Amino acid sequence: MSPDTHHQSFNPALTQSRAPHVAIVGATGAVGVELLNCLESRDFPVASLKLLASPRSAGQKFSFRGQELVVEALDENSFNGVDLALFSAGSGVSKQYAPIAVKAGAVVVDNSSAFRMDPSVPLVVPEVNAGQIEGHAGIIANPNCVAIIATVPLQALHRRYSIRRIIASSYQAASGAGAAAMEELRASTAAWLEGKAYEPKVMRHPYAFNLFSHDSAVDPATGYNGEETKVVMEMRRILDAPELPVNITCIRVPVLRAHAISLTVEFAEPVTPEAARALLEGAPGVRVVDDVENNHFPMPNEATGQGDVLAGRIRRDISDASGKSLSLFVAGDQLLKGAALNAVQIAERIFRA
């Protein structure tokens, strides 16, 4: 098939068997770079690859499988001949260009918040609800990073014991706010160690050796910020539990790229830590790190660069005498499983060699 061919329609339930022509939108951002790396490291079949970004980023060069690729400026003709478009350039870009990509014949996997709560768009974590992919009409949404990292281990427990309530606190890395926030963490830390003043430019608050509430707007009616609201709504969709009570506090911490989450979960019936640990040890996408003797549990530095979500600190919730509640601690690489890797895993379900 010629890269210049326009596709007018496709069967959304069809699993493709040929190597697709691929485009990455937002290729120069932190997630875009990880998308490129994931395609290469996972040997994803690629007939051709376009790197797309804003005009100011056009001309940058990246290596892919030994070839040099030049970033092109995104426009309405960018998707001619593209079969798979991986978007990671913000909700505004996705709302404008994802429909154009679909009209050109591409399947879009979108990493922004643009379509996550659209009931016609599947919101997918492959280890949890891969079956939703078959119902897509051209666009598949990649969930919020916290929702992904939490639901991978939670699904194994939910399937067996049925979750009735979740109380969580997230400890979110700089990568969730993009490459500029990661650089600000590096620069402000270096300045702090040298005793120099540093004026925050990306974050609202000093980042080095500090933590603060997630920097999304707070809804005065509920008291919850936008990140917290997104996590609640998306976890309900992913777990197929629309009325599930979920409460979360989202905190930004001075970590470069792996999120951690404290979870206290109430189930429909009593569950022991031993039973939960056994389920998690057999769960796809989960690696149990639960060494009580050495006080070794999930940590961001060990989750960084890993595709699995680390899960540990599995224990009874001693505030619940019924025995139906457990607490655990998880960590996952925000740029990988929380973003790029999850998107590529979705694509792998559609385009199989």
Positions annotated as catalytic residues are 145, 259
Please give the Cα distance from 130 to 39 (Å, whole number): 19
SS (H, E, C) 225-287: EHHHHHHHHHHHHHCCCCCCCEEEEEEECCCCCEEEEEEEEEECCCCCHHHHHHHHHCCCCEE
Please give the Cα distance from 288 to 23 (Å, whole number): 35
Distances, alpha carbon 261 to alpha carbons 79, 222, 225, in Å: 38, 22, 17
The secondary structure element, H or E, covering residue 9 is none
Please give the Cα distance from 145 to 176 (Å, whole number): 8
Instruction: Give the three-state DSSP class for 337.
Output: helix
